[in-house]
Structure 1
């Protein structure tokens, strides 16, 4: 089954840090949160259909900038078969844990357009500190934040019992995101 891939996608979505200011807003139609895992050695890609961001980002005031990201775990989309399994307790346990979250604790500038966002990723009632690399690009009134980072699905109990065997579904999951925002000050 492709359940572990979805589990990893959830983590990825939760970890997707983006940038925005007091009046900054997410542009959902131009944004995506994708996760890639390996099932029996074959890459499997999924996405989260529903997520939100609360961003207060000013590149001149990183110490007071914050990013909060929420993913609806029930919105994971891989395939009909996997989509039916992912909400179950073994995977995302959507009934008990309908949201995965990321809350920034610090933002560090790497260069003119690259940042490292440190924070806490919480999935399925478990939390882990993560550092997410983010690249920003501005075009007109839209700022696009892109990046990717790895997570371990088993650290969040995504794929329990027989699905904890990593020979079927790998423990490593790559979370990739592209988040479009309006209202971000010039870099």
Structure 2
């Protein structure tokens, strides 16, 4: 009888832990955002991208199998000014005619403790791909989860700003990309 009770409790414990394992895979675009910040003539500027698609697979209980890919439509940039939006779409900046999207794809996810993670991956902008490490947090909120993080890039590494804009005296080289991705569990 004692073995039967132990076996029953073990089975219930496994079933309970499996029931609580959720995989977050459905990105809720209307509750997600990708923004960026930079300095122009010493003044802090901000913008955002209005359109992006993503693939996500994240189970907090199986971090080693987590995967993420985000593709941003560069023409969806919003600098806060229509003239600014037109300017950054040109060849000297994003060159959206030849390079319509930027893409991040994870290669590994490492749990750091608590809700902190380190996401290794590749970032491709204007045909240039660089390895990056993105610090991120994950916060479960009922049947959804929120991923937040930021990544500092050098725009010169991706040829963002060519010709007269190649120098960093007017527009700084540092660009801070921030994201808040909300995903539903399946």
Shorter chain as denominator, the TM-score bin is 0.7 to 0.9
Whether 1:183 aligns to 2:185 is yes
Residue 141 of structure 1 corresponds to which residue in structure 2?
143
Tell me how far apart the structure 1 counterparts of residues 73 and 102 of structure 2 sit (CA, whole Å).
7
Residue 46 of structure 1 corresponds to which residue in structure 2?
47
Residue 115 of structure 2 corresponds to which residue in structure 1?
113
- The 4+ residue runs of structure 1 with deviation greater than 4 A are none
Higher relative contact order (CA 8 A, sep 6+): 1
1:58 Cα offset (Å):
1.6
Tell me how far apart the structure 2 counterparts of residues 150 and 36 of structure 1 sit (CA, whole Å).
9
Unaligned runs of 5+ in 2: 1-21
User: Where in structure 2 are the equivalents of 1:68-87 lying within 5 Å?
Assistant: 68-78=69-79, 79-87=81-89
Whether 1:58 aligns to 2:28 is no
- RMSD of the TM alignment (CA)? 1.3
Tell me how far apart the structure 1 counterparts of residues 135 and 152 of structure 2 sit (CA, whole Å).
11
How many pairs does the alignment contain? 164
1:138 Cα offset (Å):
1.3
Residue 16 of structure 1 corresponds to which residue in structure 2?
none
User: Where in structure 2 are the equivalents of 1:4-15 lying within 5 Å?
Assistant: none
Scaled by the length of structure 1, the TM-score of the pair is 0.84
Scaled by the length of structure 2, the TM-score of the pair is 0.85
1:140 Cα offset (Å):
1.1
Residue 3 of structure 1 corresponds to which residue in structure 2?
none
Tell me how far apart the structure 2 counterparts of residues 67 and 84 of structure 1 sit (CA, whole Å).
30
Tell me how far apart the structure 2 counterparts of residues 112 and 52 of structure 1 sit (CA, whole Å).
28
